[in-house]
A and B are shown apart, each in its own frame.
Chain A
Amino acid sequence: MYKIAVDAMGGDNAPEAIVAGIEQARDKMPDTEFLLFGQLDKVKPLVKNEERLTLIQSDEIVEMGEEPVKAIRRKKQSSLVMAAQAVKDGEAEAIFSAGNTGALLAVGIFTVGRIRGIDRPALLTVLPALDGPHDAFAMMDVGANAENRSTHLYQYGILGSFYAQEVLGYDNPRVGLLNNGAEEDKGDPIHKEAHQLLKHGASQSYLNFVGNVESRDLLQGPADVVVADGFSGNAALKATEGTALAMLRLIKHTILDGNVKTKLAGLMLKPAMKDIQSQLDYSQHGGAVVIGVKAPVVKTHGSAGPSAVANTMGQIHTMLETDLVSKTEAFVAEHKSDLSKSAE
């Protein structure tokens, strides 16, 4: 039986959406128990069926805007910190929250703890690939770190490969390095060195490095794992999301502001537009993962509804079922000196 610790108070729609999503997931996952941490006077009335749910009182809440490290150090009785502590103490195997991303990252690093040999855990997200062999790719770091060294990027290539292989089910996933050009000598010294390290990893058959990828090609699926430093990864992710939203809005306004013919054409295009929307909806692949820590630590977006919460539980279940963390830990332990060295 798997056990997932849940921060029932995190997110804009908490605890309602969280409890409803967990109940949906519970009904689909007969081998999983959920530990719900939250203010029980608010959580308990929402629960329809307590089967495989354990409700645990936590007096405090880490708010969305709070400074992460201070919040987790001061609010030991918060739903987030208590859920993370349950993982640290071995009472649960994974933690989920829809709340403050920085605070979840902080409990991931400081409470759950880093995998030995991984210098800087990262945030990994799965995005749609509109072309190529698969319909989605994993990208990391999308914002856990403001600065990265080349060795971090090398380690992300390994962590991302394990994720794509075990959780997304890709055979020999293609790893690309987000850079400002396809050629090997592109980028700043960190990216040039990271390129050499990833190439070395490929020569040792640790991963399948396919070279640099550019941000304009990301959604075309040039790689199954895109390695980025936290700053560039975050900027690329937000630019991609923003552009997609702006394009959809532009199409909508052009139709709505057009003449009768345009509106009729818009009506006919509606099913196709819905299809595009569902292809771009990456919440079907679950939430963002704090990767490089000793247990699955997963975040779904703050405004997530019950089905996004349930999808994320499915993603955590796959991570537990495939034993992603142990496999990654074993590999990193075996190749520790290689993964921490700089390119010569």
Chain B
Amino acid sequence: MERQEILDKVITLVADHFELDPASITGETNLTKDIDADSIDFVELVLEMEDEFGAEISDEDAEKLITVNNTVDYIASRAK
């Protein structure tokens, strides 16, 4: 899967989960600071991403997914 495709999917997931306009989300968007995701939102998002991309994200790795770009890079590296 191309990076852009992953980025689009992650943005759609984040926008859908937090009911935001997808246009307001970029690669730089910080999931904890810009979106005010708390621990429950964050776990829900990680689980949705696991379902979407068919990949397991460990708790240790999940803690490092701070921005949308971090998340996209992580999924891209796992897909290789």
The answer to whether the Cβ of A110 comes within 8 Å of any Cβ in the partner chain is: yes
Q: How many residues of B contact A (CB 8 A)?
A: 5
Give Cα A120 to B40, complex, Å: 9
B47 close to chain A: CB less than 8 A: yes
Residue of A nearest to B40 (CB): A109
The answer to whether B43 touches A110 (Cβ under 8 A) is: yes
Q: Please tell me if B44 contacts chain A, counting CB pairs below 8 Å.
A: yes
Contacts of B43 in A (CB 8 A): 69, 110
Binding site of A, secondary structure by majority: helix, strand, loop or mixed? Answer: helix
Tell me the bound Cα distance from A110 to B44 in angstroms: 6
Q: Which residues on A sit within 8 Å (CB–CB) of B63?
A: none
Q: Report A70-85 CB contacts with B as 1/0, cut-off 8 Å.
A: 1001000000000000
Interface Cβ pair total, 8 Å cutoff: 10
Question: Which residues 66-102 of A sit at the B interface, judged by CB distance below 8 A?
Answer: 69-70, 73
* Residues 117-144 (chain A) with a chain B CB within 8 angstroms: 120
Q: Which residues of A contact B59 (CB under 8 A)?
A: 70, 73
A120 neighbours in B (Cβ, 8 Å): 40
CB closest chain-B residue, reference A73: B59
Assembly CA distance A109 to B47 (angstroms): 11
What residues on A are CB-neighbors of B47 within 8 Å?
110
Complex Cα spacing A73 to B44, Å: 11
Name A67's closest neighbour in chain B (CB-CB).
Answer: B59
B47 nearest CB neighbor, chain A only: A110
Interface string of A268-304 (1 = CB under 8 A from B): 0000000000000000000000000000000000000
Closest to A69 in B: B43
